[in-house]
Amino acid sequence: MKIVFGFLATILIVSLAPFSYASDPSPLQDFCVAVNDSVAPVFVNGKFCKNPNMVVADDFFFSGLNKPGNTSNAVGSRVTAVNVNNLPGLNTLGISAVRIDYAPYGLNPPHTHPRATEILVVLEGTLYVGFVTSNPANPNLKNKLFTKYLNPGDVFVFPEGLIHFQFNAGKTNAVAFAGLSSQNPGVITIANAVFGSDPSINPDVLAKAFQVEKKVIDQLQAQF
């Protein structure tokens, strides 16, 4: 009987495993407004909670996503983020948002959000977007790329943690808004992280990883 029970318990655990999620925990109260106070009595989800009796409407308010971001930079895009760092009422709520502006042929370069899935909606322009899957179990297979051209009103989802990008395929400016499933999703821009870290990654490591000559790595690191 013990053996049968143990077997059934194992089957139950395995069957439930796909339904286990790693993301922002559900709130344990109506709200928990972030406050930069190291002596606050409650610590939740990485931010101290403001005394509920001191919470005001402005704690849940952000103004400015109507304003275009400055795209005068090397990649021709600008991300304006609204997360727990500038909208404290988001603390513990597991959600944030961004506005992304693109100059003609501007790029939001390949990057990941380690803590969030992203859902993007295009307001203006035409975007070429895509994401790449994680490494397949079979080493003989390649990471798969999913891409789509998006027009105003189109929506696309980038799964949590996967490398993704958006490129303005048009001759005019483009605008998109996105929601992310974390109060603080984080971002790792691949090129910046690999070639612009401080201190720099040893060029020999990158030359071996990318299968190129060291001088190519030196040139790339010099760009960052």
Q: What whole-number distance in Å separates Cα of residue 137 and Cα of residue 211?
A: 22
Percent of the chain with pLDDT over 70: 82
Q: Residue 72 corresponds to which tokens in the numbers above?
A: 């005068």
The 10s digit of each residue's pLDDT in 112-166 is 999 999 999 999 999 999 999 999 999 999 999 999 999 999 999 999 999 999 9
- Tell me if 129 sits within 8 A of 111, measured CB to CB: no
- pLDDT at residue 12 in the model: 38
Least confident of 59-68, 89-98, 191-200, 212-221: 89-98
Q: Mind spelling out the 3-state secondary structure of 162-177?
A: CEEEEEECCCCCEEEE
The 10s digit of each residue's pLDDT in 182-218 is 998 999 999 999 999 999 999 999 999 999 999 999 9
- Tell me if 124 sits within 8 A of 173, measured CB to CB: yes
- pLDDT at residue 39 in the model: 63
Confidence band for 47, pLDDT divided at 50, 70 and 90: confident
User: Strand pairing partners for 200?
Assistant: none
Q: What is the pTM of this model?
A: 0.82
- pLDDT at residue 2 in the model: 46
- pLDDT at residue 26 in the model: 57
